[in-house]
Amino acid sequence: MSTLAHVFEAAGLATVTISSTRPVAEKMHPPRVLHGEFPLGRPLGKPSDPAFQRDVLNRAFALLAEPSGPVLVDHPEVIEADEVAMSCAIPPRFDPDLPPAVDEARGLRKAYDRALAARGATSVGRVHDADAIPAALELFGKIAEGEAWNEVGLEGGNPMPIVHDVRAYYEEAGLELVNGPPPGGRASETWFYEETEAGKTIMAARRAMKAAEAPFPVWFYMAPGHRN
Partner 1 sequence: MPTGDQAMREFASGLPVPEFAETAFTPPPALAEATVAIVTSAAIHPEHEEAFAAGDTSFRVIESAERGLKLGHWSPNFDRSGFAADLNVVYPIDRLEEMRAEGAIGAVAPRHISFAGNQPDDVSTLRLDSGPAAAELLKSDGVDVVLLTPV
Nearer Cβ to partner 1 (45/91): 45
Residue 216 near partner 1 by CB under 8 A: no
| Separation of alpha carbons 173 and 115, rounded Å | 6
Considering only residues 97 to 126 of the shown chain, the ones binding partner 1 according to CB under 8 A are 115, 119-123, 125-126
Q: Which of 75, 149, 186, 198 binds partner 1 (CB under 8 A)?
A: 186
Long-range contacts made by residues 210-218, C-beta under 8 angstroms, separation at least 24? 212/148, 212/149, 214/149, 214/150, 217/160, 218/149, 218/158, 218/159, 218/160
Q: Which of 98, 132, 160, 218 binds partner 1 (CB under 8 A)?
A: 160
| Separation of alpha carbons 140 and 161, rounded Å | 13
- Interface segment toward partner 1; rule CB under 8 A; list 98-106, 142-150, 165-173, 208-216: 165-173
To the nearest whole angstrom, how small is the minimum distance from the Cβ of residue 130 to partner 1? 13
Q: Which of 10, 76, 92, 213 binds partner 1 (CB under 8 A)?
A: 10
Do residues 154 and 162 lie in contact, with contact meaning Cβ atoms separated by under 8 Å? yes
Q: Note the Cα 22 to chain centre separation in Å.
A: 21
To the nearest whole angstrom, how small is the minimum distance from the Cβ of residue 1 to partner 1? 4
Considering only residues 17 to 56 of the shown chain, the ones binding partner 1 according to CB under 8 A are 17-21, 23-24, 27-31, 39-48, 50, 53-54
Nearer Cβ to partner 1 (56/105): 56
Residue 179 near partner 1 by CB under 8 A: no
DSSP-derived pairing of the beta strands 71-74 and 32-35: parallel
